[in-house]
Amino acid sequence: MKYSIIIPMYNEKKIVEQSARALSAYCEKNYSSECEILFVDDGSTDGCGELLAALALPNVRLLGYGENRGKGYAVRTGMLAAEGAFRLFTDTDLAYGTEVIGEAFSLWEADPSVDLVIGSRRLAKDGYEGYTFPRRLASKAYLGLLRTLGGFRFSDSQSGFKGFSARAAERIFPLCETDRFAFDFEALSYAARMKMKVKEMPIRVLVHGESKIRLVGDSVKMFGDILKIRRRVKKKMKEQSHA
């Protein structure tokens, strides 16, 4: 298996069929049996998993568990269950479209030594087009926190589009513990500590779905998560170096 596309899914019954059909058709047309699509049902209660299973679409596989654990847990589950040599995740609403998937695959094909491909809205002139002012402000403020408190060195941490080589995924995700929104920062922190080769690519949002992030409550939690993650990553990497 050459490619894996991982879709973390929580109560997405309204859109899952349309997205699954679009992804299945895209992979059938461009990659055929070389591509698998893993939907990870993060403890949904609206029946979206059952709906997806009934479609029986080519290249689509359903994973899941009973309790809602968070997007980070779902992505981690998908990354470690995937069989592709290159594994990317994106959101159920396909906010960045499908063509961007092929662009990421092509970037990795051009240089298979790349460990991570990060989609960055900041690298695209229209990357934040359509964002409300509060969401744009919150995104920039959070990135500032990551740089100040966490030593983050990439241009975008929170875009829902990132790819990992199998080698990188299998080294990084067994170490990760963050189940919810700051999981991106944790994964990228390990990549930086391991001196992995990272490429950023410009992306823009084509579909603006309803954000599941509560700007005040989740921002406070993210602040705490940054500090915990920084300490945890440092500790685990130190333990590995002495193993």
Per-residue pLDDT tens over the stretch 105-126: 999 999 999 999 999 887 776 6
Mean pLDDT of the chain: 87
Rounded distance between C-alpha atoms, residue 216 and residue 238, angstroms: 34
Domains of the chain: total: 1
pLDDT of residue 121: 80
Q: Which of 87, 137, 88, 118 is nearest to 203 (CA)?
A: 118
Per-residue pLDDT averaged across 101-105, rounded?
Answer: 97
Per-residue pLDDT tens over the stretch 46-74: 999 999 999 999 999 999 999 999 999 99
CATH number for position 60: 3.90.550.10
**Enclosing domain of residue 57:** 3-242
pLDDT of residue 117: 97
pLDDT of residue 141: 63
Indicate the pTM of the whole model: 0.87
Whether residue 201 contacts residue 105, with contact meaning beta carbons closer than 8 Å, is answered with: no
Rounded distance between C-alpha atoms, residue 37 and residue 58, angstroms: 9
Per-residue pLDDT tens over the stretch 160-172: 899 999 999 999 9
